[in-house]
Amino acid sequence: MKPPAIVVVIPVYNEEPVLPELFQRLAAVFDRELGYKWSAILVNDGSRDLSATLIAEQHARDPRFELVDLSRNFGFQSALAAGLAAAASADAVVTMDADLQDPPELIPELVIAWRGGAEVVRAVRRTRSETGLRRVAFDLFHKLFGVLTDYPIEPNSGTFGLLGQAPVEAFNQLSERNRFFPGLRAWVGFPRADVLYDRQERAAGKSQQTLRRLVRYAFDGVFSFSYLPLRLLTYAGLFIAWLGFAVGLFFIVRRLLGVEIAQTGFTTLVTLLLFLGGVQLIGIGVLGEYLGRVYDEVKRRPNYIVKRKNRP
């Protein structure tokens, strides 16, 4: 039997300052602790610094480091998809960030969990690094996601983890454009295991995830895993229609009984008008979120375009 081959998939966007340490620590972990055949696929997601050059140079020195160079910045999810597609023949794929917040030294533990029978291994942080408003927003999102969908995700896990060959194949068959990795990882099923770790600070450089991107990512998560927002609108509509009927009936009966109606009620009218207008606009917005995503899917544009590959 030939020994299993492990591929590490790493999306890279402007990570020039951390790459040398990443190369060195990855090689050290595999060579020192694991006897497996391995390689690392670094997906350059349109970096504007010298990341691609550094990876190509590393490939020339040590061909186990491979470069998949995308034609522009497609975003983290697409870069990850490109890496998983390139790693299709691996026995197991480790997914991790380039910034060393996910310590390569944890990989042996992920591999042990996989050898123990788990096909999907998640690295779960003991502590979260976010504080303040971001922290509140993250917590809120995970609560909401748990309520809205049938696929609860572990609040303290990100991309870091390991996938066996079958889940990788399942991922590669998903053609959807708006990808939410933690949700999809829950969705594909398979026996799973969690490994605890302490999340590190970024080794260098700064986070590429702007708040806008994170909000978009959260929306992708909710809208691609739940119809509940649409259903809530239906319920709200039913409730308001029922209320309108009851109030209308009340006033008609009063009128028939001959009760005089005073010519006031301007405030009531304005409030009702604005409230209903707001509810309708929210409804259109929610519809639009789904419709826009449907449009994305229908166009069937590829998730990413590969410019070149430095691979054996």
List interacting residues with ligand UDP (CB under 6 A): 11-13, 15, 45, 73, 75-76, 79, 97-99, 101, 207-209
Closest CB to ligand UDP among residues 40, 98: 98
Q: Shortest gap between Cβ of 113 and ligand UDP (angstroms)? A: 22
Residues making contact with Mg ion (CB under 5 A): 97, 99, 101
Q: Shortest gap between Cβ of 47 and ligand UDP (angstroms)? A: 8
Report strand pairing: 92-95 vs 5-12.
parallel
Contact 153, 182 (CB under 8 A): yes
Question: CB burial class (10 A; 0-12, 13-18, 19+) of residue 274?
Answer: exposed
Q: Shortest gap between Cβ of 295 and Mg ion (angstroms)? A: 31
Q: Shortest gap between Cβ of 207 and ligand UDP (angstroms)? A: 3
From CA 219, how far away is CA 292, in angstroms rounded? Answer: 12
Q: Which does 271 bind (CB under 5 to 8 A by kind): Mg ion, ligand UDP, none?
A: none
Helix (H, G, I), strand (E, B) or coil at 40: strand
| CA torsion through residues 271, 274, 280, 283, sign | negative
Of 184, 26, 196, 191, nearest in space to 123 by CA: 196
Q: Shortest gap between Cβ of 31 and ligand UDP (angstroms)? A: 22
Contact 208, 13 (CB under 8 A): yes
Q: Shortest gap between Cβ of 83 and Mg ion (angstroms)? A: 16
Q: Shortest gap between Cβ of 181 and Mg ion (angstroms)? A: 14
DSSP notation for 67-102? EEEESS---HHHHHHHHHHHTTT-SEEEE--TTSSS
Q: Which does 16 bind (CB under 5 to 8 A by kind): Mg ion, ligand UDP, none?
A: none
Kind plus residue range of the DSSP H or E element containing 273: helix 266-299
Q: Which does 119 bind (CB under 5 to 8 A by kind): Mg ion, ligand UDP, none?
A: none
Around 176, how many Cα atoms within 13 Å sit in the side-chain half-sphere? Answer: 16
Closest CB to ligand UDP among residues 75, 164: 75
The residue number with the shortest CB distance to ligand UDP is 11
The one-character DSSP state at 2 is P
Closest CB to ligand UDP among residues 201, 260: 201
From CA 247, how far away is CA 40, in angstroms rounded? Answer: 67
Q: Which does 98 bind (CB under 5 to 8 A by kind): ligand UDP, Mg ion, none?
A: ligand UDP
Closest CB to Mg ion among residues 16, 97: 97
